[in-house]
Structure 1
Amino acid sequence: MPAFKIPLRQYVGLLRGYLSAQRSSIVWLSVLLAAGLVMQLVNPQLIRYFIDSAQGAASDRALWIAAALFIGVSLVQQGVAIAAAYISENVGWIATNKLRGDVAEHCLRLDMTFHKSHTTGAIIERVDGDINALANFFSNFIITLVSNLLLVVGIVILLFREGWLIGAGMSVFVVLAIWAIQYIRKFAIPHWGKLRQMSADFYGFLGEHLEGTEDTRANGASDFVMHKFHTLLRQWLPIRVRAFLGWAAMWITTLVVFTLGNAIAFALSAYLFKQGAISIGTVYMIFYYTELMAKPIEKIRTQMEDLQKADASIVRIRQLLDTKPAIRDGAGAPIPEGPLSVTFDGVSFSYESGDRPTLDRIDFRLEPGQSLGLLGRTGSGKTTLARLLLRFYDPQYGDISLGGVPIRNDKLTHLRKRVGLVTQNIEIFQGTVRDNLTFYDSAVTDERIGLVLAELGLEDWLRSLPHGLDTRLDSGGGGLSAGEAQLLAFARVFLTDPGLVILDEASSRLDPATEQRLEAAITKLLSDRTCIIIAHRLATVQRADRILILDNGQVAEYGNRQALADDPESRFSRILATGMEEVLA
């Protein structure tokens, strides 16, 4: 089986990118680890001096000096180890948190095509699970690995000073240990990659069905979901067992190698002592060094374990960061201020290549300040048209312009400030009322928020809140009625002062009293703005200047609302005459 090799360029790139800002901490960590290395090498020499002095010294002075030095060096060594551990953990958490933030921000920039093909749970596993696996990789992987290798080299050099035979024997032991660990490691690494992927699949499934728990229970699909849940667990277990066995194989290999090392040290020490070549203190020192050598080799083994976990995570994270959004910022002129004209010029779009177009050769123009009533059956392309205006997707053919500027020319952040969207499903986030309205934009003043809420008839509701705009809301809008959530969504949009407002059946969740109260506010707020009203009910398009009816992704009818209503041959007129609103459902 070929050994899994970490991509060196990705490895170095991650370290350079996320540790370069912590150079001073890394220098201090290197100094502390080097100091600890020296003290570990010195202590066995002190023990040998103590034992040999105890056998031949006429007074206890030498023993007291050796004991004091040993205790002092040991205490300092522990202090250095604590300081090094603190710095390394701090370095690791700073680096991983920065990487976690970059990955999360990158995911937010990716377009809807990516998010439709990846479940929420799978993305969370990438952002959190994979990055957690890199904590040790960032904190001290390189420094610890190098320092432990240097400790092994230092021990071998000191043993060669005592005699070429003991030095050569321990060198064989070291080579055997490192070769055995590397040989076993290559069998374990692929299973860790599969384990990380299985974990992402499981949490993706879990997140998807936790989000849709109401639909699952309402349609009696709980048994199916639990069957799939247990199926994934049964698939996960053997992968986890194989990954654990790979770890166990490395651990057992290390124990066997350490036992061989002790046997070599015992045999060589006994032979040299009988020859009179070494003292009893030197015998003990050799055993101490042999035991001490087990520690860095064990550390190297655990670093290899962390590396085999990090290998898969690094590749998966780099693959995610290398994923480029299909929707890119434009470099041309920005969309102008004020009410916007809307132009669709031969626009065709399909979600999947080769599928029948969801929108097929759409042509129309809406003048600035006008309102458009957009009608059509479910699946006719109404919501898709709105998504194209916000550049959640780009059409395969044709151009869309706002205010005479192609929307591909503007930056996405500016475009989405100029186009406001209110949908049926309102997202309320955990945070204050102010946070939910402004999305943490400190430039929006409380006075402006108050004016918009007053326009929407929410001033009494705001006064009833215990902490006003600082009142915290639960995720999902717990504690809010459907009407209050919908009104907050209107306020959220109008605080950005868009030039085009899209209402996607935005009042469908409101009770009649709240909807009536909203009508006057909408009329005032939509003045001097262009508006597209996506509707399933004819009553919601009575304010529209123009009517556009889609049928199977094509323009079935477009024109002035009143003119179409007065034309008995028009589709809109026939719908009004017969009251057959169900044809639009």
Structure 2
Amino acid sequence: MNTQAPGPKRPPVPAPRRGPAPMAGPGRMFVGQGAVEKSADFAGSTRRLLVLLRPQRLALTAAGLLAVAAVGLNVTGPRLLGHATDLVFAGVFSRRLPAGQSKAEAVASLRASGHGTQADLLASLDVTPGRGMDFDAIGRVLLLVVVIYAAAGLCGVIQARLTNLAIQRVVSQLRTDTQRKISRLPIRYFDGQARGEVLSRVTNDIDNLGQSLQQSVSQLVVSVLTVVGVLSVMIWISWLLALVAVITVPVSVIVAARVGKLAQPQFVAQWRVTGRLNAHIEEMYTGHTLVRAFGRQEESARAFQEYNEQLYAASWRAQSLSGLMQPAMMFIGNINYVLVAVIGGLRVASGSLSIGDVQAFIQYSRQFSQPMSQVASMANLLQSGVASAERVFELLDTPEQEPDPVEPARPEQPRGLVAFEHVGFRYQPDKPLIEDLSLVAEPGHTIAIVGPTGAGKTTLINLLMRFYDVTSGRITLDGVDIAAMSRDELRAQIGMVLQDTWLFGGTIAENIAYGAEGATREQIIEAARAAHVDRFVRTLPAGYDTVLDDEGTGVSGGEKQLITIARAFLVEPLILVLDEATSSVDTRTEVLIQHAMSRLRAGRTAFVIAHRLSTIRDADTILVMEDGAIVEQGDHRTLVDAGGAYARLYQAQFAQAVAEI
């Protein structure tokens, strides 16, 4: 079946105007203006991301334990290197002292000669005068350092793989949830959204979210653990130097918070404008023939340029602001390094610390400030990821169509009796379209629906298919309210051929068999012959195996329409819906199709929407609609003799035909 729901159309480009076109919708942002979109709920979106990670807690727990091990080993390394430095320095110092003299005697000798600072320094070292360097001890320490760093690297690699595995599983599940959500959304949602905008959320935003999590989560955990581990060892070595290092932390937090607050709205704006730009590009690409035919290339290019400039402005602000964070953190880290070096040197000179301790502390101060810088540099990734997450969550939180009943009703004996009972419907709550409409379509009868554009003809079919639900009243099929039936079961009884053809990438045979799973080749060919598809398919080199793309390239508009009609033939539905189904075929083919449709309609209830009244003269009942109401009904001869709305439409078309002749 071709069951693509017709909905309100959007023009491919905005109406001509002077100057740039303003963006529609909430949260609009103009180039050069300061107002930007605010994050809807940054903290709430972050919590929802954590909830998404919960099913992967086993892998993430294992990754966390490995991260603790890796950080612990990395924190141990500088302490051992400091010890190796003490051994080297002690060996150099001891070589200058007379052999056979004790350490205490050497210290006393230095003090007696007025070298008190050197005496304090010697007192803090493990020195044997005259011994020289202990290369064996230095070698053992360095070998242990190599083993520790190798083990830390191995733990880090495994931890990163586990984290990435968990995140990719989450992203995969998020894509699955999004796809399932889209299948549960009502047609009303897609009628009100640009396709490129929806595609941007499903592709760009989820990809950006996955990359942000992959690059930031693992590093964030390691950075936090490194700060805790390094700070603990720093306090153990010297609480005074640790205090100096910690003083810079509040400054770093204030800078990060301030810059992050400024950058987050820009990331939100960036991804929203990306969606609008994608929507515009998608519309211009699918409608490029129409754009060129009406000479709207310049308007399309101007609209693209406007969106592009808005995206440039938002992206530039977001990246510029977030890019300030890392240099600021490095500046603060360098100040911390200078303070530690100066105060540490004074402590070594006083003998309170060894030179190895100061060296280790300087390394730790770097390790302490480096995670802070890394967290700052990840801020733009996190903010960009959360901005994308908000857009995905917004899609996931969209109200779904009403679910099918747990125990759906079914007609006891399907016959095709359709009844509209006091049906009312409106697309907008304050704008009624159909009010108190009632009609009955008997089994095997053909109901033709005519009327001016916007009268509600296609809306009537949308209600029958339950693409939209009625606002009031009800529609029954063989006495059963269709609202109590399963949508899939209802639509399986209906074959639909629209004025707008719909094909997908695949062979002609696959396109014909789309609505009839398990159809044989013979059945496909029989339906193609009935719809007069066989006559032009035989002229193609690959015949029924000719591959079409989703645009139907290689076949004409009329031939595409015939393929969709053959699809309806193959399904053999209980109810047949034809929405201007022969509008794209020539007059001779139309006559053939009308004869074929007569055979197809035999014994089936058929609804035919037509503008050319000559195609529905044989209908059992003709409904004339105006402003959502049935103003006339009857057969062709009765309505013409009545001299009402139908007669005026028929005479207008007849006069036009005479004028053309």
The normalised TM-score by structure 2 is 0.79
Structure 2 residue identity aligned to 1:558: Q
% identical equivalent positions? 27
Aligned to 1:25: 59
Residue 507 (1) aligns with residue 582 (2) = yes
Residue 242 (1) aligns with residue 317 (2) = yes
Structure 1 residues 468, 375: CA separation in 2 closer, same or farther (over 3 Å shift)?
Answer: same
Structure 1 residues 469, 51: CA separation in 2 closer, same or farther (over 3 Å shift)?
Answer: farther
Aligned to 1:54: 88
Tell me the alpha carbon deviations over residues 435-484 of structure 1, each in whole angstroms, 9 at most, x when there is no partner. 54455986555565455335434456667767776653212111123333
Listed as ranges, the matches of 1:174-193 within 5 Å are: 174-193=249-268
Structure 2 residue runs without a partner (length 5+): 1-34, 92-131
Instruction: Tell me how far 1:518 sits from its aligned partner.
Output: 3.4
Structure 1 residues 515, 28: CA separation in 2 closer, same or farther (over 3 Å shift)?
Answer: farther
138-147 or 496-505, larger mean C-alpha shift: 138-147
Listed as ranges, the matches of 1:38-437 within 5 Å are: 38-55=72-89, 56=91, 58-136=133-211, 138-139=213-214, 141-142=216-217, 144-325=219-400, 328-330=403-405, 332-334=408-410, 338-355=414-431, 357-433=432-508, 436-437=511-512
Structure 1 residues 543, 298: CA separation in 2 closer, same or farther (over 3 Å shift)?
Answer: farther
Instruction: Tell me how far 1:158 sits from its aligned partner.
Output: 0.5
Aligned to 2:51: 16
Residue 580 (1) aligns with residue 615 (2) = no
Tell me the alpha carbon deviations over residues 170-213 of structure 1, each in whole angstroms, 9 at most, x when there is no partner. 22233432333223222221222222222222222332333332
Instruction: Tell me how far 1:156 sits from its aligned partner.
Output: 0.8
- Distance in 2, matches of 1:386 and 1:321, equals 28
- Whether the 8 Å contact between 2:446 and 2:608 is mirrored in structure 1 is yes
- Distance in 1, matches of 2:518 and 2:534, equals 21
SS at match of 1:580: helix
- Distance in 1, matches of 2:435 and 2:51, equals 49
- Whether the 8 Å contact between 1:433 and 1:469 is mirrored in structure 2 is yes
- Distance in 2, matches of 1:476 and 1:462, equals 17
Structure 1 residue runs without a partner (length 5+): none
- Distance in 2, matches of 1:35 and 1:466, equals 66
Tell me the alpha carbon deviations over residues 519-577 of structure 1, each in whole angstroms, 9 at most, x when there is no partner. 45433333332111111122321442221122333212212456556x56576567667
Structure 1 residues 106, 441: CA separation in 2 closer, same or farther (over 3 Å shift)?
Answer: farther
- Whether the 8 Å contact between 2:266 and 2:317 is mirrored in structure 1 is yes
- Distance in 2, matches of 1:505 and 1:329, equals 30
Structure 2 residue identity aligned to 1:114: Y
Structure 1 residues 121, 570: CA separation in 2 closer, same or farther (over 3 Å shift)?
Answer: closer
420-429 or 102-111, larger mean C-alpha shift: 102-111
Structure 1 residues 283, 569: CA separation in 2 closer, same or farther (over 3 Å shift)?
Answer: closer
Structure 1 residue identity aligned to 2:78: P
- Distance in 1, matches of 2:542 and 2:564, equals 20
The normalised TM-score by structure 1 is 0.88
Instruction: Tell me how far 1:279 sits from its aligned partner.
Output: 2.2
Cα RMSD of the aligned pairs, angstroms, is: 3.2
- Whether the 8 Å contact between 2:68 and 2:225 is mirrored in structure 1 is no
- Distance in 1, matches of 2:162 and 2:460, equals 53
Instruction: Tell me how far 1:103 sits from its aligned partner.
Output: 2.1
- Whether the 8 Å contact between 1:536 and 1:581 is mirrored in structure 2 is no
Instruction: Tell me how far 1:70 sits from its aligned partner.
Output: 2.6
Residue 523 of structure 1: which of 598, 602, 621 is its match?
598
- Whether the 8 Å contact between 2:618 and 2:636 is mirrored in structure 1 is no
| Alignment: residue pair count | 579
- Whether the 8 Å contact between 1:327 and 1:393 is mirrored in structure 2 is no
- Whether the 8 Å contact between 1:327 and 1:394 is mirrored in structure 2 is no
- Distance in 1, matches of 2:211 and 2:536, equals 50
SS at match of 2:440: strand
SS at match of 1:377: coil
Structure 1 residues 468, 330: CA separation in 2 closer, same or farther (over 3 Å shift)?
Answer: farther
- Distance in 2, matches of 1:173 and 1:442, equals 69
Residue 551 (1) aligns with residue 626 (2) = yes
- Whether the 8 Å contact between 1:92 and 1:136 is mirrored in structure 2 is no
- Whether the 8 Å contact between 1:426 and 1:485 is mirrored in structure 2 is yes
Instruction: Tell me how far 1:289 sits from its aligned partner.
Output: 1.3
22-31 or 544-553, larger mean C-alpha shift: 22-31
- Distance in 2, matches of 1:360 and 1:28, equals 63
